[in-house]
Amino acid sequence: MSRPLYLEHDGKVLLVDLEGNGPQKAVMGRVGDVVLRLPTESEVEAMEIDWTERRVHRIRFGSEYHEVVYGFPEVDWPENWTWKDKLISDGCVNPLARECVYRSMHRVVSKVIIQNQRSEVVMAKVKRGFFTGHWTMPGGFVDYAEHPLEGAMREVLEELGVTVEITSEGLVQIAERSFTLALIPH
């Protein structure tokens, strides 16, 4: 089975057409049938592009799983490749390619450690997103133009229903004490 290859360099991504010809450029705002996709490893080899594997993502769409190889291309500047922001706004790009771009974007995350006098730490079981079903500290993505401290306090309220204040020293003070939390020793 050939796996799609996600090659990105300086905000540009390699796309091919449905026959594997590339590089191809996305068009912002375009709608219609899918005409562009990620290349396979053999298609990249045919373009004589050397690359290094960084990781493999297993991505699920409905009941189907796809393995995508994320790699770093060994090129100076991918002039004829498409910009990430054009790729995600082109309705004729395969949805798997758009999902790969979303998963490659860096976002700021704020987490909060709430610990009691017995060194027990509050953990929350994630209900949605990348880590659904796993235990983690309360927190999440910081909104655009939101200070990380504000984001951390908002996330604790959303996830635990608890209002906290985070001091400039980074200490968490709980405003309400009328709640029950599952505490896990660390």
- Per-residue pLDDT of 118-146, as tens digits, reads 888 888 888 776 667 889 888 888 887 88
Q: Under a CB-based contact definition with an 8 Å cutoff, are residues 156 and 164 in contact?
A: yes
Pairing of strands 12-13, 16-17: unpaired
pLDDT of res. 90? 96
- What is the value of pTM for the model shown? 0.65
CATH no., domain 109-185: 3.90.79.10
- Extended strands (E) in the chain: 5-9, 12-13, 16-17, 36-37, 51-61, 64-73, 82-83, 109-111, 120-122, 124-125, 135-136, 139-141, 164-166, 172-174, 183-185
Provide the residue ranges of all domains of the chain, joining segments of one domain with +.
5-104, 109-185
**Per-residue confidence at 168, pLDDT binned at 50, 70, 90?**
low
Q: What's the mean pLDDT in 168-182?
A: 56
**Residue 156 CB partners (closer than 8 Å, separation 6+):** 112, 114, 138, 139, 162, 163, 164, 172
